[in-house]
Amino acid sequence: MLSFFSWTPLRRLAAALCLALCFLISGVYAPSAIAQTDRPDTYLTRVASLSDRFNRLETYVNQSSWSDIKGYIHGPLGTIRVDISRVISTLPAKEQTKAKALAKKLFDGLVDIDFAVTAQDKSASSAAFEQVRKDYKYIESVRVGLNRLVNSY
């Protein structure tokens, strides 16, 4: 029925377009492009900026602003786990285990704050926040030491 029309040139054209698209996409996802985003100093600056976020969270906890606390924990503090984990992965193996345990304690503390906020329990949320603040202070000291190490290269 369609004998007057040949599909062979269209198949070749489709194959050529697919090949060109593969080359185009591989240029975007090149290892050099990925490596630029996975630099320790990028995560160090993110962890450093957490101090301001914890100050704001403290304000919300002191005011018992339940919806602001919940939104802040799940919003701006939502990347804390990834950022801290990336910084910890750049530490020497001996320090990693201690830092991982402390980071887990910090993350669990944020969960405790979340539960206290759900129950609208001011004393529990304040106590959980103080523990999170202490855990963050240690992680901050690790970050400062690691920052010196990164800058020495």
Would you state the pLDDT for residue 129?
Answer: 94
Domains plus CATH for the chain? 39-151 (1.20.120.290)
Distance of CA 98 to CAs 30, 80, 104, 135, 146, Å?
Answer: 34, 18, 10, 12, 15
pLDDT in tens, 6-48: 667 777 887 888 777 776 676 655 555 444 455 556 666 776 7
Would you state the pLDDT for residue 12?
Answer: 81
Kindly indicate the confidence band of residue 153, based on its pLDDT and cuts at 50, 70 and 90: very low
User: Which pTM value belongs to this model?
Assistant: 0.65
pLDDT in tens, 132-152: 998 888 777 766 665 555 555
pLDDT in tens, 58-113: 999 999 999 999 999 998 888 888 888 887 887 778 878 888 888 899 899 999 99
- DSSP characters over 103-137: HHHHHHHHHHHHHHHHTT-HHHHHHHHHHHHHHHH
Would you state the pLDDT for residue 143?
Answer: 62
34, burial (CB in 10 Å: exposed 0-12, middle 13-18, buried 19+): exposed
Would you state the pLDDT for residue 53?
Answer: 85
